[in-house]
Amino acid sequence: MTNAPSVYDFSFQSLEGVKVPFEQFKGKKILIVNTASKCGFTPQYKDLETLSQKYKDKLVVIGFPANNFGQQEPGSNEDIKSFCEQNYGVTFLMAEKSSVKGDDISPLFKYLTNEANANLTGEVKWNFEKFLIDEQGHLIARFPSKVNPLSEELTSKL
């Protein structure tokens, strides 16, 4: 038994303001994605929703809206929720807007980019980077923005 930190040591606030502990997803893989509503990769919301539905028995998809890149997520939590539902039919979990890099980086993204897995660390480069967490709460893969959520590269790890 190890005392190494895992994603289960964290929680987040949903877009609706509800505290969500990662611990409740034990036994499933988790795909954490930093999202934005005004990005060239924004259409990935549709594929993330498809992925979420297709693998719902073994995968939890969670979007983390962030305004760190090109001011591409300027809206409020309410704006983000409305945009995602109306334009992409998003039903997967969405966290409240947070920071994924810089001085105000959220503790979760600080963990994911610094401590989670030495082979996968480094600053988030752009919107729609994807972090895959295994059933024990450890980071096992990281995908750049250009990797489509439905790609073989990603789905082969599920």
CATH number for the domain including 43?
Answer: 3.40.30.10
In a domain, 1, yes or no: no
Q: What is the pTM of this model?
A: 0.96
Tokens of 124: 């988030």
Q: Is the Cα dihedral 147, 19, 90, 76 positive or negative?
A: negative
- pLDDT tens profile 29-52: 999 999 999 999 999 999 999 999
In a domain, 50, yes or no: yes
Question: What pLDDT does 154 receive?
Answer: 98
Enzyme catalytic residues: 87
Q: What mean pLDDT comes out for the span 95-119?
A: 92
Residues 53, 56, 62: CA angle, nearest 5 degrees: 85
Residue 18 predicted with pLDDT over 90: yes
Q: What mean pLDDT comes out for the span 107-135?
A: 92
Portion of the chain with pLDDT greater than 70, in percent: 97
Q: What are phi and psi of 40, to 5 degrees?
A: -60, -25
* pLDDT bracket for residue 117 (50, 70, 90): confident
Query: Total structural domains in the chain?
Result: 1
Q: What mean pLDDT comes out for the span 52-79?
A: 97
Q: Using CA atoms, how far apart are residues 57 and 116, in angstroms rounded to an integer?
A: 24
Question: What pLDDT does 1 receive?
Answer: 37
Question: What pLDDT does 2 receive?
Answer: 46
Residue 54 predicted with pLDDT over 50: yes
Residues 149, 90, 107: CA angle, nearest 5 degrees: 70
* pLDDT bracket for residue 4 (50, 70, 90): low
Domain that holds residue 60: 7-155
In a domain, 72, yes or no: yes
- pLDDT tens profile 140-157: 999 999 999 999 999 999
The length of the chain, given as a count of residues: 158
Residues 6 or more apart whose Cβ sits within 8 Å of residue 107: 10
Residue 3 predicted with pLDDT over 60: no
